[in-house]
Chain A
Amino acid sequence: MSALLQVVEVLAILAVLLSIAGFLIWYERRLLAGFQDRLGPNRVGPFGLLQPMADIVKLLSKEDWIPPFADGFIFVLAPSIVPTTVLLAFAVVPFSDGISVADLNIGLLFILGMLSLGVYSIAFGGWASNSKYSLLGGLRGAAQMISYELPLGLSLVGVVMLAGSFRLTDIVRAQSPLWFIVLQPLGFLIFLIAGFAEARRVPFDLPEAENELVGGYHTEYSGMKFALFFMGEYLDITLVSALITVLFLGGWRGPILPPILWFFLKLGILISIFIWVRSILPRYRFDQLMQLGWKVLLPLALLNILITGAVVLAVR
């Protein structure tokens, strides 16, 4: 019976996540239009809410094209990696007290590992397409992921030191009087910036860079395979937002409202910030990206660890 319940829970979380990804298609376009004095999709259904449905129907009815010059197997494999790894990473995210698929005691490490695996999607996709734009996009993606994985991981060391655990529920419980955004402002900023890079969002969307690389790693993709890349990106945004919520904003904690609502409220605000930033910032140049990653964020992350460690030692 409990096994059946767990299966139901897993399916429910999967359904919620996939519908969030679908909803974000509409939400991003609508909100971005809002920042630009436009209306955005408002025709299909009430407020254009059924726009994702129309998009899916369109993508499904498109020709499933594998270019003759591509490496067939890897070409098909690549788009499935991002959604898979991100959904797997969601397995350890606690949506509320007790609502998570698996509460691993190394949850944070598991998530970081899964995030790192996601880069294979871009590298494979770029390589298997066998086209110069895709390859350049894939290379950029790989370089960017490696450069930003380090500050991303290191910025969380402070949180882990304060909470004394890699388990995400423990980290949320450790934030009972004060959220970690107050205790770890530097770590939060580093994680936010590295998270933008990790989700390949503006201003770090160099792997796609439609102005210079046509479409980057997904230039040669069409139909549902392209949609999988897109879904992966939206799920990535959701995952990074969920992580910021859990690690820095006290997860499901909050007064009056039920915990699960607090979690999704914080999640929604963070996703909106992702879109908000997209509306104002241009893309970084590649050397600027590398410079920011290695010369600014990495030393800052190390400094953050040093200070946190010293303070924790002194307090103990």
Chain B
Amino acid sequence: MLSNLRTLWIAFTHLWRKRVTVRYPEQKPYLPPRWRGRIVLSRDPDGQERCVACYLCAVACPVDCIALQATQNEQGRRYPDWFRINFSRCIYCGYCEEACPTYAIQLTRDFEMSDYRRQNLVYEKEDLLISGTGKYPGYNFYRVAGLSAGVKARGEGAEELPPVDVRDLLP
């Protein structure tokens, strides 16, 4: 009985405590820097698409919400012809970001993307592509890759040795 009265008193003091409610649209909650939200496709510092259409994100996706079609330009640079993410399926696990070898696909801190129509949640490539580099400002895959694809000549990349003539015996 006495403990009940004590509990009543404690509940009463809670009437005057600070509220824990976050009044969302006016008052934004704190988001951690590594929050996994809306997925974007980033560009390299030269303004070109980073995505090389390797399909690793589509393979890694546990809910199969990523679809794309690879193609390449005349210089041999691969890029997605179209790239589609169905955000009504996406579970924001971030596996696509982990799988991506070129830092192209990235999860951002934006989560306010609800919609009244399910169709509107299917994002096409033009919706996904951003103009910037996202989380990795200086990175350009083709500058470190052993492939030319029109970005640099062979052997001129970072930490890349000039090509070796394998038929030559001289050291």
Contact of B19 among A38, A279, A281 (CB under 8 A): A38
Considering only residues 272-290 of chain A, those with a C-beta below 8 Å from chain B are 276-277, 279-281
Question: Counting CB contacts under 8 A, is B28 at the interface?
Answer: no
Q: A277-B8, A280-B8, A281-B4 are in contact. Are A34 and B20 (CB under 8 A)?
A: no
Residues of chain B lying within 8 A (CB to CB) of residue A35:
11-12, 14-15
Considering only residues 253-302 of chain A, those with a C-beta below 8 Å from chain B are 276-277, 279-281
Question: Counting CB contacts under 8 A, is A60 at the interface?
Answer: no
Complexed CA–CA distance, A157 and B91 (Å): 64
Residues of chain A lying within 8 A (CB to CB) of residue B8:
276-277, 280
Chain B CB within 10 Å, residue with most, of A34, A42, A277, A280:
A280
B11 touching A276 by the CB < 8 A rule? yes
Residues of chain A lying within 8 A (CB to CB) of residue B7:
280-281
Complexed CA–CA distance, A280 and B15 (Å): 13
Smallest Cβ distance from B25 to chain A, in angstroms? 10
Residues of chain A lying within 8 A (CB to CB) of residue B15:
34-35
Question: Counting CB contacts under 8 A, is A36 at the interface?
Answer: yes
Residues of chain A lying within 8 A (CB to CB) of residue B20:
37-38
Residues of chain A lying within 8 A (CB to CB) of residue B23:
39, 42
Chain B CB within 10 Å, residue with most, of A35, A42, A276, A281:
A35
Q: Scoring B residues 56 to 79 as 1 if CB is less than 8 Å from chain A, else 0, what string do you get?
A: 000000000000000000000000
Question: Counting CB contacts under 8 A, is B34 at the interface?
Answer: no
Complexed CA–CA distance, A34 and B116 (Å): 33
Smallest Cβ distance from B14 to chain A, in angstroms? 5
B14 touching A37 by the CB < 8 A rule? yes
Residue of B nearest to A39 (CB): B21
Question: Counting CB contacts under 8 A, is B18 at the interface?
Answer: yes
Smallest Cβ distance from A35 to chain B, in angstroms? 5
Residues of chain B lying within 8 A (CB to CB) of residue A38:
19-21
B4 touching A34 by the CB < 8 A rule? no
Complexed CA–CA distance, A35 and B9 (Å): 10
Question: Counting CB contacts under 8 A, is B117 at the interface?
Answer: no
Complexed CA–CA distance, A39 and B11 (Å): 15
Considering only residues 21-62 of chain A, those with a C-beta below 8 Å from chain B are 34-39, 42
Question: Counting CB contacts under 8 A, is B167 at the interface?
Answer: no
Q: A276-B11, A280-B11 are in contact. Are A37 and B19 (CB under 8 A)?
A: yes
Complexed CA–CA distance, A35 and B16 (Å): 9
Residue of A nearest to B19 (CB): A39
A280 touching B4 by the CB < 8 A rule? yes
Residues of chain B lying within 8 A (CB to CB) of residue A281:
4, 7
Question: Counting CB contacts under 8 A, is B17 at the interface?
Answer: yes
B11 touching A37 by the CB < 8 A rule? no
List the interface of chain B (C-beta within 8 A of A).
4, 7-8, 10-12, 14-15, 17-21, 23
21 contacts between A and B (CB under 8 A): A34-B14, A35-B11, A35-B12, A35-B14, A36-B14, A37-B14, A37-B18, A37-B20, A38-B21, A39-B19, A39-B21, A42-B23, A276-B8, A276-B11, A276-B12, A277-B8, A279-B11, A280-B7, A280-B8, A280-B11, A281-B4
List the interface of chain A (C-beta within 8 A of B).
34-39, 42, 276-277, 279-281
- What 10 A-B pairs have minimum CB-CB distances, sorted nearest first? A39-B21, A280-B7, A35-B11, A34-B15, A280-B11, A37-B20, A279-B11, A38-B21, A39-B19, A37-B17
